């Protein structure tokens, strides 16, 4: 167990204000590098197999409006050069027009990232919104569904597991 249940519950119940405070303290560059590191770690197998080729020249926006977070992802490099990876496009580039956007609450994104709730369920329950290029959105959604979270470092896995379990318990207690 990462933290005592009582502490975990307190953190989960106050995640939005805690993360909003953290966003004011932590530099954007650090946040972006951490997100990019995790995404490339999750996508590594797919990059090597060429399964991200559909992202060539495309931009996907991931947005968590309740904590005012969003990132723009694209694929950079080529398999031939060995430097193919996901990259973040900095918002300062005012020419960004995403081909597709994934938007959801922090709770929905945690449940999807932990793979305790699949993206289809979140989409049909209107907790995950996909706008723009539907075909591209479905390809990305299917890829997210295949991510192996066991490739993440153990503390991140445990955090996601505890957070999502607590969210699901809270939801079932309300029903």
Please tell me the predicted confidence (pLDDT) of residue 95. Answer: 76
**pLDDT in single tens digits along all 175 residues of the chain:** 556 777 777 777 788 888 888 888 989 889 899 999 999 999 999 988 888 889 989 999 999 999 888 999 999 887 676 778 888 887 765 678 899 999 999 999 999 999 999 999 999 999 999 999 999 999 998 888 889 989 988 888 888 888 898 888 876 655 4
Cα atoms in the Cβ-side hemisphere of radius 13 Å centred on 130: 18
SS3 92: coil
Please tell me the predicted confidence (pLDDT) of residue 93. Answer: 59
Instruction: Tell me which CATH code domain 5-167 carries.
Output: 3.30.1050.10
Please tell me the predicted confidence (pLDDT) of residue 107. Answer: 92
Cα gap 154→1, rounded to integer Å: 12
74 sits in which H/E element: strand 69-76
Q: Judge whether 102 and 145 are in contact, CB under 8 Å.
A: no
Please tell me the predicted confidence (pLDDT) of residue 105. Answer: 93
Please tell me the predicted confidence (pLDDT) of residue 63. Answer: 94
Cα gap 145→119, rounded to integer Å: 7
Cα gap 106→166, rounded to integer Å: 14
In the sheet that 128-132 helps form, which strands lie side by side, from edge to edge? 85-89, 69-76, 60-64, 100-104, 128-132
């Amino acid at each position: 167990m990462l933290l005592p249940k009582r502490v975990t519950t307190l953190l989960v119940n106050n995640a939005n204000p805690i993360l909003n405070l953290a966003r004011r303290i932590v530099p954007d560059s650090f946040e972006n590098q951490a997100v990019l590191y995790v995404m490339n770690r999750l996508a590594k197998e797919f990059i090597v197999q060429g399964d991200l080729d559909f992202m060539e020249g495309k931009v996907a926006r991931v947005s968590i409006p309740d904590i005012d977070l969003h990132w723009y992802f694209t694929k950079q490099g080529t398999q031939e050069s060995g430097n193919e990876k996901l990259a973040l496009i900095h918002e300062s580039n005012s020419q960004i027009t995403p081909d597709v956007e994934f938007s959801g609450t922090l709770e929905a994104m945690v449940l999807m990232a932990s793979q305790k709730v699949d993206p289809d369920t979140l989409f049909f329950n209107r907790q995950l919104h996909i706008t723009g290029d539907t075909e591209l959105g479905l390809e990305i959604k299917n890829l997210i569904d295949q991510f192996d979270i066991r490739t993440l470092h153990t503390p991140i896995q445990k955090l996601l597991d505890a957070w999502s379990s607590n969210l699901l318990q809270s939801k079932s207690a309300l029903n």
